[in-house]
Amino acid sequence: MSMKIGISSACFYPLDTIESLKECVKGGFDLAEIFINTHSEMSGEYYRQMKAYIDGSGVRILSIHPFTSGYENVIFFAGYERRIQDGIEYYKNYFDFAARLGAKFVVFHGNNMKNKFCGFERYAEIFTKINECAHTFGVELIHENTTWCIAREAEGVAKLRAACPDMKFVFDAKQSCRGGYDPYAVLRAMGDSVVHVHINDWANGHCTPPCMGALDMKRIIDRLKEVNYKGDMVVEVYRENFTDIYQLEASARLLEKII
């Protein structure tokens, strides 16, 4: 099984995005997900500086995480058609940004289950429209099992797959654990539709770096092997969950031994 361990710039939030990438590289990571924090980072002088650093450091960008993920319920699933169309137009910024950096994926959170749900059939229609737009840029929109979204538990994932067979997923163990859901069941429900992994661990009600908590990392890796997973994974934890980049580097080395 060939799998590289990368890291998300989100680990260092609210540090500036370029500075976050520098931390990633300092830790020996040459694969990264960029959590883009505001619109102006995707163009102009800031983008040119980011692109120059990426090219100069040799770090490969695997995925992009939009800063508007928390608004996707309002943008796409509140029933206002014109806003959906405008939302797709805006998301072209992310798809174009991802394409320019050579990234494969753009991460999607989707509907907030605290609000009225539009139903799986309509949800699939809307997701497909957004993803068809992503495909015109050569990237894939992938649905995360975020704690408060429709994919938060195994049942929701299974229903999404039934309604939208082409939907692909990013698995994040801490998201399941935060909501009290079984992360292994969520991963199993994703089946061979999982194409990206945010890797982390969990212990005593808190997220930890991989291999430093109570989750069975080998069980997660073995499940990925069962579905012939072809992707890589990125370490994604919160800034309060680790001491420094070198702890994350040590965590990644432990994970590589399991792989």
Query: What pLDDT, on the 0 to 100 scale, is given for residue 168?
Result: 98
DSSP code of residue 59? P
What average pLDDT score do residues 85-98 get?
98
Listed residue (163, 34, 210) closest to 106, CA to CA: 34
The answer, yes or no, to whether residue 226 has pLDDT greater than 70, is yes
Q: Which amino acid is at 19?
A: E
What is the percentage of the chain residues whose pLDDT exceeds 70? 100
Domains of the chain: 5-258 (3.20.20.150)
Q: Mean pLDDT in the chain?
A: 97
Query: What pLDDT, on the 0 to 100 scale, is given for residue 196?
Result: 98
Residue 227 CA to residue 63 CA, distance in Å, equals 21
Residue-wise pLDDT for 153-175, tens only, equals 999 999 999 999 999 999 999 99
Residue 124 CA to residue 79 CA, distance in Å, equals 14
Query: What pLDDT, on the 0 to 100 scale, is given for residue 102?
Result: 98
What average pLDDT score do residues 178-204 get?
97
What average pLDDT score do residues 113-132 get?
94
Please, are residues 113 and 149 in contact by the beta-carbon 8 Å criterion?
yes
Name the least confident of 42-46, 115-119, 212-216, 218-222. Answer: 115-119
Query: What pLDDT, on the 0 to 100 scale, is given for residue 1?
Result: 58
**Which residues, including other chains, have CB under 8 Å from residue 25's CB and lie 6 or more apart?**
57, 59
Query: What pLDDT, on the 0 to 100 scale, is given for residue 113?
Result: 82
- Helices 245-258 and 217-226 pack at an angle, to 10 degrees, of 50
Residue-wise pLDDT for 44-89, tens only, equals 999 999 999 999 999 999 999 999 999 999 999 999 999 999 999 9
33-65 burial: b if 16+ Cβ within 10 Å, else e:
bbbbbeeebbeeeeeeebeeebeeeebbbbbbb
Residue 196 CA to residue 107 CA, distance in Å, equals 9
Model confidence at 116, pLDDT cuts 50, 70, 90, reads confident
